[in-house]
Each structure stands twice: as C-alpha cells, then as structure tokens.
Chains A and B, each alone.
Chain A
Amino acid sequence: MAVKKYDNPDLEKKLHDTRYHSIDTNPEFTKKVLDISRTIANMCYQCGTCTGSCPSAPRSSYRIRLFMRRAVLGLEDEALTDPDLWLCTTCYSCTDRCPRDIAPTDVIMAMRNLAFKRDIIPRNFLKTAQLIYSTGHGVPNNDVNRAARVKLGLTADPPTTHSYPEFIPGIQKILNYFELKQNADRMLEGE
C-alpha cells in the first residue's frame, strides 16, 4: 500500500515518531491520577458509555470521556483548568457501567485533588472545610432547628461535636496535619 507523503518535513518526522508527545503532555500527570484514583484510567478505550450515563452531560459541555482521554494523554493543564471538572455529581453511574472496569468518577476526584494543589477550587468547597474546622459539621445547627428538636423530645444540639465540643480540637489537628484550614483561609482571604 502506498504511504501518503506530506510536503512538510516536520510533520513527516512527527508522524513517523511513534513516541511523539505533544509539548502539553505530562506523563507524570497520568501516573499521579492513577495513584490517587486507585483505578486503571490508562485502560480507557474511549467507548463513551460514561458520557452516555452522565446526568451532567445533557445540560452542559462536561464530557467525562474527554477527561478520561486527558488522563491517558497526560494533558494536565487542559484537565485541571477546565471549569467543567467541577460539574461531576459523583453519581457513579459511569463507574457501574464502564466495560473496562474503570472508575471514571474516581479519576475526576483525583484530578480535583490535583487542581486543589494548584489553588484551583470552587469557593463553596473551601467554605464547607472552614465550617467543619470551626464546628465539626458541614451543615451546622441553627436556632429554628434547635427549637424544633426540643419539641420532638430531642436534645437542642445533637450528640455530635455540637454537644461535645471537646472533640473539636482533635478534628482541627487532623485538618491542620494536611494544612487544609490554612490553605482555605489563604484562598478565601478578603471574603
């Protein structure tokens, strides 16, 4: 079979180089995603079952299959700076249907972890972290609810960190171990 020739010698060289990587490619990114997600993202053959199962896909430009490809190709910047990364509801429909037994949802979670390391994260995530640091709860109690609880015969505050605040310093130690509060405060500074 005749092989088509191109006039462009650079292109010719590129096409013959089976180890060619785009300059945007970072093979380390693929490894990191595999490591954090604990799933075999590199085995994806792009069938698209994931996108077909995704409740976010029909109402946005978010395509889980695209992120899987980015994981395989190591397109770090493209993956981590795409705002669609945060539209996964983590429903795991794609994971249950993947014919390659990959967990695309966990690939998304791994990419979000890596994005956070680069200070890319929606503010609502950080605010939840701050609330847990100060109260132990992501959704803390309030006065209306306290009154309702008492009417039901429950204690005004549930028997969690709300009633036992002596457990909060332990939680803060765990969060401090990962410097989560400091990072959240720094990124939300001035708000």
Chain B
Amino acid sequence: MHEYAFFLGCIAPNRYPGCEAAAIKTSEKVGIKLLPLKGASCCPAPGAFGSIDLNVWYAMAARNVCLAEEMKKDITLICNGCYKSIYEVNHILKHNDDLKDRVNEVLAEIDMEFKGSQDVWHLAELYYDPKICGVQKIRDSVTTPLTGAKVAVHYGCHLMKPQKERHFGDTENPMWLEELVDALGCESVQYRNKMQCCGAGGGVRGYDITHSLDITNEKMINLQEVGADALTEVCPFCQLQFDRGQIEIQETFGVSYGLPILHYNELLGLAQGMSPQDLALDLHGIDCTPFLKKVL
C-alpha cells in the first residue's frame, strides 16, 4: 500500500463531496491509501492569491506542505488549482534558496519551517504511473465496465502547464488521461481544441462571469459536435465551471447542452461498482441520469 497525505482543497470537500468520497474508496482498491492532512487550508487559490501578492501565495501553500512534511508523507490531491499552488510552490522553494529563506521567515512566526523533504502528486498521475498503480491495475479494478458511452476528456490547465515547471511532456495533445478513461470500458472521444481552458481560472469567473462563460460555451459547442455522452476532468473547479456553468450559460445565452460532468474519480467509482448515491451525483447541477442509463 502506498500512503499519501490527501490534500482536499475547497471545492471538492465543500461542493462536490462525491469526489472526495470516490477518491478515498477508489484509490484504496488500486493500492493507494489516502490519509487526512489535518488542518490544511485553501491551497490558496492560485488565481486570487497569486494576483494579490505572490509572497502570500508562497507562504500559505508552503504551510500546507509543512503539514505533510510533519507526517513524513508525500501529498496527493485531486484538483488542478491545488496542484498549481502546492506542487509549484513546493517545486519553486526547493530550487530557490532566497525565496525559501523569505518564506521560512514568515513561517517562523507560527513555528513552522519548510524543509523541502516531500513531493506533490496529482492522484490522476499516480493512477497512470506504473510504479504506483498503472493503467492495467485500474483496468483490473473495474467490476462494472462503462461500455457504450462516449466520454470526452478535459485535462484542465494547471495540471500540465506551464510545461517547463512540470514533468508531463507534451501539452498540445496529451493522451494519457484517455488511456485511463478507456481502461474503464468507455470510449474516449477527441474534440476540437481539447486543451482549451474551461474559463474559470485567474479570478475571471468572479471578475467577469459572462466572459468566463463564453469560454466555457466554446468548449461546450466543440463537445456537442462530437456527440460526447459525458465530460470527465480531474479538477473540481473545472467541474464547477462546466456543471453549474451550463445552468448559467442557459440563463445568460439561452442555450442548453445537458452534458453530464464527472470527475475522473467519480467515473472510476462507477466502474468499480459504487452507486450514484455513494458519489452524491444528485448534487451535480446537470442531471447525470442519461449517462448512467447508458452505462449501468
């Protein structure tokens, strides 16, 4: 069993608790144990805090990493926004002693110290990593194959970009999440401009909601073109933008798509035999029933 400190963030536990429940249960079936990271806070939101003052962003994210350092565990998480904050700050501070000293000056006020002794991983990359889990193990864990559905994939921005601060390689047309989706028995589909942003990041959702929804709408049009039955992603903030966003798009632009949006962990949960109630799919803004009828 590989053990990790599970960093929750805000939107997964406080808006889509099904993602959290699914992550804990699904990962255990493939040999990953998630331990609660007690006292963690918001990552903090890279768009909002990074825009206000990057120094606060470094210090707040470093505090969350310190909690895992005390547990002597690597961090894993299920949100791209959290990944941007926690992974990137950990990465930057490990390679920049000046900045590390400055952050530690702040953390000294609360008797903490960033050491740089742990790493940060997205749960999806652990699923894909053959050293930890790998696609075959995911495939073996499936009890209810999700056959007969076309599922499109949204990678989100902050998981893989900026490329040179990450280790994923190509960011123009990656295919590894599709492999993970295909392993569940459904068919992954390609669509135009797959790597485009969901529109929520950088504080734009709060600053100019119409502008933000217009970006989302472009993605929805591209998804509709290929007849996707559902969209899967690995970021609850993207999920919020696509899921609640579709309702807001209906109100703002008068178009409705009714495309179910599922976090990869929720999809994996369904494939491993969890019921829609176990995943709190009823909390989703867009009804998942048409998709569920197709696959279950």
Task: Tell me whether A25 is interfacial, beta carbon within 8 Å.
Answer: no
Whether the Cβ atoms of B206 and A125 lie closer than 8 Å is yes
A sample of 5 inter-chain contacts (CB < 8 A) reads A139-B10, A145-B15, A145-B17, A149-B13, A160-B39
Q: Nearest B residue to A180 by beta-carbon distance?
A: B56
With A139-B15, A141-B13 as known contacts, state yes or no: A152 contacts B21, CB within 8 Å. yes
Whether the Cβ atoms of B42 and A138 lie closer than 8 Å is yes
With A55-B196, A92-B157 as known contacts, state yes or no: A152 contacts B14, CB within 8 Å. no
Within 8 A of A (CB), among B186-210: 195-197, 199-204, 206-208
Q: Which residues of B contact A89 (CB under 8 A)?
A: 47, 157, 197, 199-202, 204, 212, 215
Contacts A113-B51, A174-B56 known; list 11 others, CB within 8 Å.
A86-B204, A86-B208, A89-B212, A91-B201, A91-B202, A125-B48, A128-B49, A160-B41, A161-B40, A178-B55, A180-B52
Task: Tell me whether A170 is interfacial, beta carbon within 8 Å.
Answer: yes
Q: Which residues of A contact B (CB under 8 A)?
A: 36, 55-56, 59-60, 86-93, 95-96, 101, 103, 105, 109-110, 112-113, 116, 121-122, 124-129, 132, 136-142, 145, 148-149, 151-154, 158-164, 166-167, 170-171, 173-175, 177-178, 180
Contact of A60 among B45, B51, B211 (CB under 8 A): B211
Q: How far is the CA of A180 from the CA of B46 in the complex (A)?
A: 15
Q: Which residues of B contact A (CB under 8 A)?
A: 8, 10-11, 13-15, 17-18, 20-21, 36-42, 44-56, 59-60, 63, 106-107, 109-110, 112, 157-158, 161-164, 171-172, 195-197, 199-204, 206-208, 211-212, 214-215, 218, 277-280, 283
With A89-B204, A148-B280, A180-B52 as known contacts, state yes or no: A173 contacts B39, CB within 8 Å. no
Q: Which residues of B contact A178 (CB under 8 A)?
A: 53, 55-56, 59
